[in-house]
C-alpha cells in the first residue's frame, strides 16, 4: 500500500497517558501526531493510555495533522488489546514495534482486519534482525496495509551496543539501506528521534543529515523540536523553482517523447520529472498549512 504525497516533516510522539500533552498536540505545528502507548507509557498506565488514545481519535480536533497510534507489540500483555482498540478507533495509521520479518507485518495486518480501509500500518525499523530482511519487510506492503517505516535508532543503538555519535556513523548503513528499501516499494520513511532536547544546533545537523539520506521527515520527542524539523525538511525556494521548471519543460510539445532534456543549463531526465512532481505536491501541501 503506497501513500499519497503529503508533508511528514515532523512526527511528534506524545504519551497517550498524558491528557494535557495530547490536547496540546492539537495546537502544534507538527505534521504528524503519534499517540504513544509503548515506550513513553509505564506498565501500570498502559490501559488508561489506550482508553485516552481511543478517545482522542474519536474526539478529533487535530485538523490537518496526521494521527497515528503506536501500540505495544503482540508479544506483550497489551499488544492484542491495543490493536483491537486502535482498529476500532480508526486513526490514520497504527505504528507497530519490533518488526523482524514479513510474517510480523502479516500478523499485524491481520490484527487490524476490523480497521477502516483508510487506516494504514506503519512499522518500526529498530532491531538487528530486521536489518537483514528489509527487502522482504518492504515487499509485504504489496499485500498488506503497510505504507510507512519509522527508524528506531535508540533501540538499534541498544541492540548494537553502539555509541550515538553526533554524526551517527554507527547507523549509516542501517539508515541508507532502510531508505533504499522503503523507496523500492513506495513506502514513506521517517528518521529516528534526537535525544538532546536543548541542543538546537545538533538537532538541525541531524535533520540536515536526514534530508541528505532521503527521509521524509523525523520523529520528535518534544514540541520545541518541531520548528527546526519543519524548516529543514521543507523544500527550499530554489528546489521548488527548479522542480517547476522541469515540469514545465517536459510539458512543452517539442519535448514530447524525450527521455532527457536541457533545463536552465542542466540535464533533466524523466526520473527527475517524477521527483519534481512529488516535490511540488509536498511543497503545495506545506503552503496550504
User: What is the residue extent of each domain of the chain?
Assistant: 10-233, 237-288
Contacts of residue 136, defined as CB under 8 A and 6 or more positions apart, other chains included, come to 101, 102
Cβ–Cβ < 8 Å for 132, 159? no
Q: Rounded distance, CA 25 to CA 32, Å? A: 9
Q: What is the pLDDT along the chain (289 residues), one digit of tens a residue?
A: 556 678 999 999 999 999 999 999 999 999 999 999 999 999 999 999 999 999 999 999 999 999 999 999 999 999 999 999 999 999 999 999 999 999 999 999 999 999 999 999 999 999 999 999 999 999 999 999 999 999 999 999 999 999 999 999 999 999 999 999 999 999 999 999 999 999 999 999 999 999 999 999 999 999 999 999 999 999 999 999 999 999 999 999 999 999 999 999 999 999 899 999 999 999 999 998 7
Q: By C-alpha distance, which of 137, 120, 229 is closest to 178?
A: 137
Three cell numbers written together for 259: 527521455
Number of neighbouring beta carbons within 10 Å of residue 223: 17
Cβ–Cβ < 8 Å for 21, 15? yes
**E-strand spans in 206-253?**
217-220
What φ, ψ does residue 179 adopt, rounded to 5°?
-60, -45
Q: Which value, in Å, is the radius of gyration of the alpha carbons in the chain?
A: 19
Q: Regarding the domain with residue range 10-233, which homologous superfamily does it belong to in the CATH classification?
A: Phosphoenolpyruvate-binding domains (3.20.20.60)
What φ, ψ does residue 132 adopt, rounded to 5°?
-95, 5
Q: Rounded distance, CA 182 to CA 132, Å? A: 14
CA atoms within 13 A of residue 283's CA, in its CB half-sphere: 16
- CA dist list (Å): 217 to 24, 227, 231, 236: 21, 12, 11, 15
DSSP state letter for 11: E
- CA dist list (Å): 80 to 74, 94, 279: 6, 13, 38
Length of the chain: 289
Q: pTM higher than 0.75 for the full model?
A: yes
Number of helices (H), then strands (E), in the chain? 11, 10
**E-strand spans in 155-246?**
188-191, 217-220
- Note the pLDDT of residue 289: 79
- Note the pLDDT of residue 1: 58
Amino acid at each position: 500500500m503506497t501513500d499519497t504525497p503529503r508533508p511528514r516533516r515532523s512526527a511528534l510522539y506524545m504519551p497517550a497517558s498524558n491528557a494535557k500533552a495530547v490536547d496540546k498536540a492539537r495546537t502544534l505545528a507538527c505534521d504528524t501526531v503519534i499517540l504513544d502507548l509503548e515506550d513513553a507509557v509505564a506498565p501500570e498506565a498502559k490501559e488508561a493510555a489506550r482508553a485516552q488514545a481511543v478517545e482522542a481519535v474519536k474526539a478529533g480536533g487535530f485538523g490537518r495533522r496526521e494521527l497515528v497510534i503506536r501500540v505495544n507489540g503482540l508479544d506483550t500483555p497489551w499488544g492484542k488489546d491495543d490493536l483491537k482498540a486502535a482498529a476500532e478507533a480508526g486513526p490514520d495509521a497504527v505504528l507497530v514495534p519490533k518488526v523482524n520479518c514479513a510474517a510480523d507485518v502479516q500478523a499485524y495486518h491481520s490484527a487490524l482486519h476490523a480497521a477502516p480501509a483508510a487506516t494504514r500500518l506503519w512499522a518500526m525499523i529498530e532491531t538487528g534482525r530486521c536489518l537483514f530482511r528489509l527487502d522482504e519487510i518492504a515487499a509485504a506492503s504489496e499485500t498488506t496495509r503497510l505504507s510507512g517505516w519509522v527508524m528506531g535508532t535508540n533501540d538499534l543503538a541498544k541492540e548494537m551496543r553502539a555509541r550515538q555519535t553526533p554524526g551517527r556513523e554507527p547507523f549509516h548503513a542501517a539508515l541508507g539501506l532502510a531508505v533504499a528499501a522503503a523507496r523500492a516499494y513506495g513506502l514513506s520513511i521517517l528518521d529516528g528521534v534526537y535525544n538532546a532536547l536543548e541542543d538546537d544546533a545538533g538537532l538541525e545537523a541531524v535533520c540536515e543529515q536526514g534530508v541528505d539520506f532521503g527521509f521524509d521527515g523525523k520523529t520528535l520527542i518534544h514540541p520545541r523540536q518541531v520548528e527546526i524539523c519543519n524548516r529543514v525538511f521543507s523544500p527550499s525556494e530554489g528546489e521548488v523553482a527548479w522542480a517547476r521548471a522541469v515540469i514545465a519543460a517536459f510539458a512543452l510539445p517539442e519535448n514530447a517523447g524525450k527521455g532527457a532534456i536541457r533545463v536552465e543549463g542542466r540535464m533533466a531526465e524523466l526520473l527527475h520529472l517524477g521527483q519534481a512532481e512529488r516535490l511540488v505536491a509536498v511543497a503545495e501541501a506545506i503552503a496550504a498549512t
